Structure 1
């Protein structure tokens, strides 16, 4: 699996298609810390949300690059289509995780916070960044050109999903009380952000549960994507044979 992932990343970085999403993530983080001092968890909530957007953009960009005849060859070399799809996802995650490390480590190294960071804040902060990059990557898989030919429409729909994911708390508040739990069906970006902004009153157990929920949500999205992609691949030869 690792040789496949290394090849995918090397091939993608040679294309220079990565520049726009990577620049967005780097510049956004630096811009957030343009002034000091900054509250720790509130700042991390903002940069985690920005990395969610950046990783979704990066994922869509990465997947659209890795299409056509080369994809067929890589599926053959990897041994199965399932391994290939999971390899794509892991390649996106590995790239995005580097920016999670940057977003968490930069303000510490540059002394941008209003107080020394504790170990629990560091762990929760990095976990939140990591899980939201996973979530962004998982969502992006459904909007690649292999699934939606009109990429202008795909980008618009992905943007809409990201906005709703960020505004889940507000969406839930607008619904009748009986339907307020519907917000938990939305991508839980809002849940992780709420947990971070209100960290002092939420408690460590709630923080861990929010991160675990977002992690499981990402894995479910990945599992559904792989299942649908494999069924779709199996249907193509059947249609040609018919």
Structure 2
């Protein structure tokens, strides 16, 4: 697994596919804290949504680093397709950890907050960034060319999921009757961002964390089902 992850990482670095999303991420982070002082939790809530979008962008490009022929060759060397995809997932998730650490530490190092954040606030900030990034990874893979053939369907579908998940709380009151329950199929991004305020509702926050973790697990399972189905009928 480690050798596969190293290979994926080197291939991605050589592709330069990370330049655009990482540059955008740094610019947004700097602009977000350009005016200070800033509230701790609310600021983390905003930058976690930025990371959610950037992580989705990075993941799609990361899973498209290899062309289809090279991907098949790598799978043969891996000797197991699920091992290959697991190594991809873990490597993509490591990018999320890095972005979460940068997002959490940047305003602390440069004194952008209105007060010194507590250990709890920093911990909540990191896990909020990480979990939203993780769910972005799992959702984005469903819209990669591994599942969808046409690139336009990949980007349009992913963009729709990202937008709806971010604005779901605003859309819910507009939906009639049972239609609002359709929002359950989208990750609870807006619910989590709304909780990032003082006073912190720790119980509800932990429930949302659990919901996101389970959602990510379901998306991984769905990917495995869709991939096997596609392979069977291709």
TM-score by length of 1: 0.90
**How big is the shift at 1:177?**
6.0
Counterpart of 2:77 in structure 1 is 77
Contact 1:81 1:230 in 2 (8 A): no
Counterpart of 1:105 in structure 2 is 105
SS in 1 for 2:113: coil
Counterpart of 2:93 in structure 1 is 93
**How big is the shift at 1:180?**
4.1
Partners of 1:59 and 1:146 lie apart in 2 by 12
Q: Residues 112 and 80 from structure 1, CA distance in 2 versus in 1: closer, same or farther, beyond 3 angstroms?
A: same
**Superimposed CA distance per residue, residues 118-162 of structure 1 (whole angstroms, 9 cap, x where no aligned partner):** 111111110000001111111111222233333134212211211
**How big is the shift at 1:235?**
3.6
Counterpart of 1:206 in structure 2 is 204
Contact 2:96 2:133 in 1 (8 A): yes
Matches within 5 A, 1:102-181: 102-176=102-176, 179-181=179-181
Matches within 5 A, 1:26-37: 26-37=26-37
Partners of 2:14 and 2:205 lie apart in 1 by 39
Contact 1:104 1:126 in 2 (8 A): yes
Q: Unpaired segments of 5 or more residues in structure 1? A: 237-242
TM-score by length of 2: 0.93
Counterpart of 1:225 in structure 2 is 223
Contact 2:51 2:132 in 1 (8 A): yes
Partners of 1:140 and 1:185 lie apart in 2 by 14
Contact 2:104 2:125 in 1 (8 A): yes
Counterpart of 2:192 in structure 1 is 192
SS in 1 for 2:35: coil
Partners of 1:105 and 1:177 lie apart in 2 by 43
Deviates more, 1:225-234 or 1:55-64: 225-234
Counterpart of 1:67 in structure 2 is 67
SS in 2 for 1:65: coil
**Superimposed CA distance per residue, residues 48-101 of structure 1 (whole angstroms, 9 cap, x where no aligned partner):** 000000010001111112231221122122221111112111111111221110
Deviates more, 1:215-224 or 1:65-74: 65-74
SS in 2 for 1:27: helix
Contact 2:36 2:114 in 1 (8 A): yes
Q: Unpaired segments of 5 or more residues in structure 2? A: none
Deviates more, 1:208-217 or 1:122-131: 208-217
